[in-house]
């Protein structure tokens, strides 16, 4: 299968080419198209930075990166990439429905019927049917993150970048959204890069889990989770194989910190 992402010797830092801060160094990473990749790593190791380069929000200092067989810039111009952050900001004065339609410029262009239908469809898919006219402050934290996901999916992105999207949620809500995300991933075939602090979440969601080490950021561990999972990437959180994989990830993470 083709790769959605390929990096070779990728160097990334801040402050230009003479950068004092080098965050990622010589990163070689292939991500299979349609796969679900979880990314773990100590705080500050460059997880968000990696997503920023993929999303064309930051230029690399060296090496190469190809996204969907193209440059990050071309992919962003085509709106083939969606982004969900931990504290995805919704516009407080816009309704839920308008927040979902935001990427397409609410109030600037007249929306086509199909986009209107699609935003309602996405709200339904995310369990928010009937919430379209509410304002963000009338939603729970979990519901707000669902709106952010619906918004990221509006353009039918081939690639979805998620940076600790459920980090601020309680565990029950997080588990529920994890299951919804897996269902959604199977339905859409979107490639997902999912950054999390939670080893359990990374292991439960990912077909593959990588651990990045810090200073400078590099690949410290790479586990294929598919042998431990059923059809559709399903598994039980208590499955001994999953628990063993989590222990391995924990060790790698401790060493990487
Ligand atoms: N805009 C920036 N300017 C300078 N340094 C930054 C900037 N953003 C992040 N960094 C630094 O880059 C490193 C990696 O940050 P980040 O990718 O956010 O880490 P992570 O997401 O893994 O916690 C950190 O040391 C951080 O301080
Ligand atoms: Mg981060």
Q: Which of 48, 161, 198 to mutate to test the pocket of ligand 1 (most atoms within 8 A of CB)?
A: 48
Nearest CA residue ID for atom 10, ligand 1: 14
| Average pLDDT over the chain, rounded to an integer | 90
Indicate whether residue 46 lines ligand 1 (CB < 6 A): yes
- Tell the residue number behind the tokens 């359990």, with chain if given: 200
5-9, 99-103, 175-179, 218-222: the lowest-pLDDT one: 99-103
Q: Which two tokens stand for residue 52?
A: 């920023």
| pLDDT attached to residue 216 | 82
Of ligand 1's listed atoms, the one at least distance from the Cα of 217 is 14
- Report which of 122, 86, 66, 113 is spatially closest to residue 196, judged by C-alpha positions: 86
Determine contact, residues 191/33, Cβ cutoff 8 Å.
yes
Residue 222 has pLDDT above 80, yes or no: yes
Residue 85 banded pLDDT, cuts 50, 70, 90:
confident
Tell me how far CA of residue 94 lies from CA of 85, 111, 118, 129, 172, in angstroms.
19, 16, 18, 17, 28
Tell me how far CA of residue 197 lies from CA of 118, 158, 244, in angstroms.
32, 24, 18
Alpha helices per DSSP H over the chain: 47-54, 72-77, 96-101, 113-125, 141-153, 171-188, 199-205, 240-256
* DSSP track, 36-56: EEEEE--TTSSHHHHHHHHTT
Residue 109 has pLDDT above 90, yes or no: no
Indicate whether residue 41 lines ligand 1 (CB < 6 A): yes
More confident residue, 153 or 132: 132
Residue 108 banded pLDDT, cuts 50, 70, 90:
very low
| pLDDT attached to residue 20 | 66
Of ligand 1's listed atoms, the one at least distance from the Cα of 45 is 22
Determine contact, residues 48/56, Cβ cutoff 8 Å.
no
Nearest CA residue ID for atom 19, ligand 1: 44
C-alpha angle with apex 107: 105 to 113, nearest 5 degrees? 75
What torsion do the CA atoms of 109, 114, 117, 119 make, to the nearest 10 degrees? -50
Average pLDDT over residues 173-202: 93
- Report which of 35, 34, 38 is spatially closest to residue 202, judged by C-alpha positions: 38
CATH topology of domain 3-80+158-256: Rossmann fold (3.40.50)
Residue 112 banded pLDDT, cuts 50, 70, 90:
low
Nearest ligand (C-alpha, residue 20): 1
Residue 234 has pLDDT above 90, yes or no: no
Nearest CA residue ID for atom 16, ligand 1: 46
Average pLDDT over residues 245-253: 96
In the DSSP assignment, the letter for residue 142 is H
Q: Where are the domains of the chain?
A: 3-80+158-256, 91-156
Question: Residues with Cβ < 8 Å from 79, sequence gap 6 or more?
Answer: 103, 155, 157
Indicate whether residue 16 lines ligand 1 (CB < 6 A): no
Residue 106 has pLDDT above 60, yes or no: no
Segment 10-54, tens digit of pLDDT:
999 998 766 567 899 999 999 999 999 999 999 999 999 999 999
């Amino acid at each position: 299968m083709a790769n959605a992402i390929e990096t070779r010797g990728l160097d990334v830092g801040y402050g230009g080419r003479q950068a004092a801060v080098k965050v990622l160094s010589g990163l070689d990473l292939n991500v299979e198209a349609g796969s679900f990749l979880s990314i773990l790593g100590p705080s500050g190791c460059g997880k968000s930075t990696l997503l920023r380069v993929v999303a064309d929000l930051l230029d690399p200092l060296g090496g190469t990166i190809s996204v969907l067989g193209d440059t990050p810039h071309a992919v962003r111009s085509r709106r083939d990439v969606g982004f969900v952050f931990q504290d995805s900001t919704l516009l407080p004065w816009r309704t839920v429905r308008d927040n979902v339609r935001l990427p397409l410029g609410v109030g600037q262009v007249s929306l086509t019927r199909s986009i209107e239908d699609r935003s309602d469809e996405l709200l339904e898919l995310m369990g928010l049917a009937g919430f379209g006219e509410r304002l963000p402050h009338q939603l729970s934290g979990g519901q707000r993150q669902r709106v952010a996901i619906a918004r990221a999916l509006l353009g039918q992105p081939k690639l979805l970048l998620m940076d600790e999207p459920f980090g601020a949620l309680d565990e029950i809500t997080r588990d529920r959204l994890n299951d919804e995300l897996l269902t959604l991933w199977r339905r859409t075939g979107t490639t997902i890069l999912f950054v999390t602090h939670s080893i359990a979440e990374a292991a439960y969601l990912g077909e593959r889990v990588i651990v990045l080490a810090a200073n400078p950021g590099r690949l410290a561990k790479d586990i294929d989770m598919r042998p431990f999972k059923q059809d559709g990437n399903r598994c039980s959180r208590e499955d001994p194989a999953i628990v063993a994989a989590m222990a391995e990830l924990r060790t790698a993470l401790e060493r990487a910190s």
